[in-house]
Chain A
Amino acid sequence: MYSWIFRNLPGPVWVRILTCLVLVAVALVLMVQFLFPWFSQFTTLTDSTIGLVQQP
C-alpha cells in the first residue's frame, strides 16, 4: 500500500520523499485536531467530576 503510494507520486525521488513527509504531517495534524479529541471521549481517564452535574 505505502510502496504503491510512493511509486505513484510524481517527480524525482527527493520530491517524492518530501511529499511523503508532507502527507505524514497532514495526517498527524488531522489526527491531533479531530480524531484524538473525538476518541478521547471513550476513555474514562478524564472523568473528574462528581455525579451528572456536567454530563450533557
Chain B
Amino acid sequence: MAHQQTTAASAVPSGRPGQEQEPRRRLRASDVIRKISQILGELLITAGIVLLLFVGWELWWTNVEANAKQTEAVQSFAQDLTGPVTPAAPGNQTDYGPPVVGTAPANGETIGIMYIPRFGADYTRPIIEGTGADVLDTLGLGHYGSTSMPGATGNFAVAGHRQTHGAVLDSIHTLVPGDKIYVQTADGYYTYVFRNNQIVLPNRTDVLMPVPTQPGIVPKESILTMTSCNPRFGSQERIIAYSVMESWQPASAGPPSEIAAQVAKAQGKG
C-alpha cells in the first residue's frame, strides 16, 4: 500500500498550468477531496475483496491443502506397513490375545490410520501425535499426548476439525451406535464400536480421563474418544464421540473385511 501515499502527495501539485490563481486553488482543494475519497473507496473495496478471499480460503482452500497433506501422510506411513492386505477368511474368528500397544511417537509423527465407513468409503485419515495447531490444521486427527495409545486399557483420545482444514470430523454427529471405527497401526487393526456422543463445554477435560468423565475409576475397557467443535461452524461447545474397542487383530492377520479395499488402496496395492 506504499502507492497510496505517493498518490496523495502527487495529487496536490498536479494543478493544471496556465490557469488563474484564484480558481486554481479552489479546483485543487476539490481535487484533493476527490482523490482522497477515491483512494479511500478503492481501499475499502480492496478490504472487502480481501475479506471475501479470506472466507474462501478458510472454507475451501484449507480443505484442499489439508486433504493433500493427509493423503501424503497416509501414503508415507503405509509404505512401511507389513502384512497382507486381504482379509482373513470369513468366519475365522481367531482370538489374537491382548492387543499390542505401541509407544507414542514424537509430536507430528504418524501413529496410524483411521477408517470410519460411516463417513464414506474413502475415509482414510492419518492419526498424528499431538493436538497443536501444526498438527490439527493440516494433518487432521491429532492424538492427545496425555492419553493412552490404541488398544491400551484406558482412553485413546483424538481431536479433529469439524470444519475447515480438512474437516476430518465434519460428520461426527452422523455416527450411529454400533458403527465401526477402525484404527490401523504398524502393529495391527483395532476395531472400535461407536457407543454415544456428548456435547460439553470446551473446558471439560474430564472427557479425556481413562474412564471418561469419571475421575478415580480404574479403566477396564479400551475407549476411543474423539473431540471436535460444536456446533458446525462454531466453537461454543465440543462434541465428544465415545467408542469402545471390540476386537484386535495383528497386521499379519490382514485387515477386517469391511475396510480391506481401503487398506489395500492406502498401501498402493488396490
Contact = CB atoms under 8 A, between A and B. Distances in A.
A36 B57 contact: yes
Interface residues of B, number: 48
Interface stretch (B81-89, B182-190, B226-234, B241-249): B226-234
B205 A53 contact: yes
B209 to A, nearest CB: 11
B164 to A, nearest CB: 6
Interface string A19-55: 0000000001001100110011101111111111110
Given A45-B235, A53-B205, A53-B208, A36 B58 contact: yes
A47 B229 contact: yes
A12 interface: no
A56 interface: yes
A18 interface: no
A41 B133 CA distance: 9
B162 A48 contact: yes
A5 B137 CA distance: 37
Given A1-B7, A1-B42, A4-B3, A50 B159 contact: yes
Given A32-B57, A53-B146, A45 B205 contact: no
A48 B238 contact: yes
A2 interface: yes
Contact of A50 (B39, B136, B204): B204
A54 B227 contact: no
A2 B42 contact: yes
Nearest to B168: A48
B207 A50 contact: yes
B3 A1 contact: yes
B158 to A, nearest CB: 10
B38 A1 contact: yes
A50 B202 contact: yes
B94 interface: no
Given A4-B3, A54-B133, A48 B228 contact: yes
B199 interface: no
A19 B53 CA distance: 21
Contacts of B233: 45
Given A1-B7, A1-B38, A56-B132, A46 B43 contact: no
Nearest to A40: B58
A50 to B, nearest CB: 5
B53 A49 contact: no
**Lowest 9 CB-CB distances: which A-B pairs, in order?**
A51-B205, A54-B131, A47-B235, A44-B235, A49-B159, A48-B229, A1-B42, A36-B57, A48-B228
Interface of B: 3-4, 6-7, 10, 38-39, 42-43, 50, 53-54, 57-58, 61-62, 130-133, 136-137, 142, 144, 146, 159-165, 169, 200, 202-205, 207-208, 227-229, 233-235, 238, 240
